[in-house]
Amino acid sequence: MTYLRRYFMEQFIQGQKRTFNLSSCSSQKNEDSIKKIAKQIGFIGDGNMAKAICRGIVNKGLVSYSQLYVSSPYIKNLDVWKQYGARVSTDNSKVAANTDIIFLAVKPHILPEAVEQLCQSDNVDKIKNKLFVSILAGYTLKMLEALLSKFSGCRVIRVMPNTPMMIGEGCTAYCPGNNVSAEDISVVKKILEESGVCEMVPENHINAVTALSGGGPAFVYLMIEALSDGAVKMGLHRDMATKFAVQTVLGAAKMVKVTGKHTGELKDEVCSAGGATIAGIHALEKAGVRGGIMNAIEASARRALELGKTE
Ligand SMILES: NC(=O)C1=CN([C@@H]2O[C@H](COP(=O)(O)OP(=O)(O)OC[C@H]3O[C@@H](n4cnc5c(N)ncnc54)[C@H](OP(=O)(O)O)[C@@H]3O)[C@@H](O)[C@H]2O)C=CC1
Ligand SMILES: O=C(O)[C@@H]1CCC=N1
């Protein structure tokens, strides 16, 4: 078991425990019944992003685990879902046939194989008229609609989520495909909005979104690590350095959001004339940090574009 898988399983279990505690309180129950989505939701692929979405929506009371049906190739890996009441299968077609909304949550290079499994199954007739939600980087609506064309009446919504959905702080963009109804959009939006910010974007913006918010958490983790490393170099203990780096990033992000001020103005409020901060800003500018970050977004968006092409 990889470290990441073990970590997500632990988080997943903790999330479930917290949900159980919350839902035993009556006011939460009332709120839950208002929010609840009366649909069966399928996940083809049970990796990091699928777990983040599921944990986010279960924690918010939108669905219960019994409404989730998850598939991936190794039955052992699905035990954790089963343990909490989700249905599981190694057969993707069972998930697609027995749910209303199907999240495609495999890696891009796996998608043709996963869809082929649906096409070759005995469940083809039962997969008609379904709503598919693709979270894959790179796969355009046109490609997705072509891949799923065997299933008449299928609709597709392309979304780009991120892992902080798991804690209700996600950031997701979505683009509806041809044939989706207002109800399709409304239910998918409800799922995504419940776990953070959610905006509709034109499809030609989705690769930029993939780089910015899809992969962005990784860039921010790296920055937090570097801030902590710098402070350790200057003598702070690691625990404190990381705790302060995290709180500083959180606080700065909230300042931008809450005050609505331009980031340049907020930066100027920190930089005393001839002081310590401007010396640090100078070091960052000399290192080309702004250009480096812009290059990272550009490289990531270009790579996202390539991911839909078969490799
Ligand atoms: N991770 C992220 O932050 C984000 C990811 N995405 C997108 O989400 C998708 C999934 O990424 P992520 O969750 O990170 O990837 P993971 O590798 O964590 O998950 C992929 C899952 O697919 C399973 N799988 C492999 N082959 C098949 C198959 N034939 N049928 C069904 N399931 C299969 C894997 O099972 P096993 O492990 O047993 O092989 C695994 O559970 C990608 O397309 C990515 O572009 C989008 C936004 C953010
Ligand atoms: O790295 C990737 O390709 C995916 C897309 C966004 C986050 N992870």
Domain assignment present for 206 = no
Q: Which own/partner contact pairs does 149-156 have at CB distance under 8 Å and 24+ positions apart?
A: 150/118, 150/119, 150/124, 151/118, 151/124, 151/127, 152/128, 153/128, 153/129, 153/179, 154/127, 154/128, 154/129, 154/130, 154/179, 155/130, 155/131, 155/179, 155/180, 155/181, 155/184, 156/131, 156/132, 156/180
Q: What is the CATH number of the domain that holds 229?
A: 1.10.3730.10
171 and 237 both lie in a single domain: no
Does ligand 2 have an atom closer than 6 angstroms to the CB of 137?
A: yes
Which of 68, 70, 106, 307 to mutate for ligand 1's pocket (most ligand atoms within 8 Å of CB)?
A: 106
Q: How far is CA 298 from CA 180, 186, 303, in A?
A: 31, 32, 9
Q: How far is the CA of 94 from the centre of ligand 1 (A)?
A: 18
Question: From the CB of 215, is ligand 2 less than 6 Å away?
Answer: yes
If you count them, how many residues does the chain have?
Answer: 311
In a domain, 296, yes or no: yes
Residue at a domain's end among 168, 201, 234: 201
Residue nearest to atom 1 of ligand 1 (CA): 49
Kindly state whether residues 178 and 244 are assigned to the same domain. no
Of the ligands numbered here, which is closest to the C-alpha atom of 9? Answer: 1
Domain count across the chain: 2
Backbone angles phi, psi at 132, to 5 degrees: -100, 140
**208 Cβ closer than 6 Å to some ligand 2 atom:** no
Q: Which atom of ligand 2 is nearest to the CA of 163?
A: 7
The CA-based dihedral angle spanning residues 115, 119, 123, 125, taken in that order and rounded to the nearest 10 degrees: 110
147 and 269 assigned to the same domain: no
Burial 19-38 (b: 16+ CB within 10 A, else e): beeebeeeeeeeebeeeebe
Q: Is residue 208 part of a domain?
A: no
Distance of CA 105 from the midpoint of ligand 1 (Å) = 5
Q: Which residues are annotated as a binding site?
A: 44-49, 72, 92, 105-108
Return the axis-axis angle of helices 238-259 and 216-233, rounded to nearest 10°.
Answer: 130
Sequence-ordered list of residues with C-beta below 8 angstroms from that of 74, at least 6 positions apart, any chain: 90
CA distance 96 to 127: 6
Query: Looking at ligand 2, which atom is closest to the CA of residue 210?
Result: 6
The reply to whether 55 falls in a domain is yes
171 with 228, same domain?
Answer: no
User: From the alpha carbon of 211, which atom of ligand 2 is closest?
Assistant: 6
Relative to the alpha carbon of 303, which ligand is closest? Answer: 2
Distance 155 CA to ligand 2 centre (A): 23
**How many angstroms does the Cα of residue 48 sit away from the middle of ligand 1?**
7
| Alpha carbon distance 20, 201 (integer Å) | 35
* Residue 49 belongs to domain with CATH number: 3.40.50.720
Q: How many A from CA of 5 to the centre of ligand 1?
A: 12
Write the DSSP string, 281-306.
Answer: HHHHHHTTHHHHHHHHHHHHHHHHHH
**Nearest ligand 2 atom, CA 307:** 3
Average pLDDT per block of 10 residues along the chain, 311 residues long? 47 43 39 73 97 94 95 95 95 97 97 95 94 98 95 96 97 96 95 94 98 98 98 98 98 98 98 98 98 98 88 50
Q: Could you tell me if 29 and 170 lie in one domain?
A: yes
Domain extent for 117: 3-201
| Ligand 1 pocket, Cβ-based, cut-off 6 angstroms | 44-50, 71-74, 77, 92, 105-108, 110, 113-114, 135-137, 160-163, 214
Same domain? For 96 and 45 the reply is: yes
* CA of 113, closest atom in ligand 1: 29
- Note whether 197 and 221 are same-domain residues: no
If you take atom 17 of ligand 1, which residue's CA is the nearest one?
Answer: 47
Residues 12, 118 within the same domain: yes
Q: pTM for the complete prediction?
A: 0.90
Q: Are residues 74 and 117 in the same domain?
A: yes
From 210, 212, 220, 221, the mutation candidate for ligand 2 (largest count of ligand atoms within 8 A of CB) is 210
What number does the ligand 2 atom closest to the CA of 304 have? 3
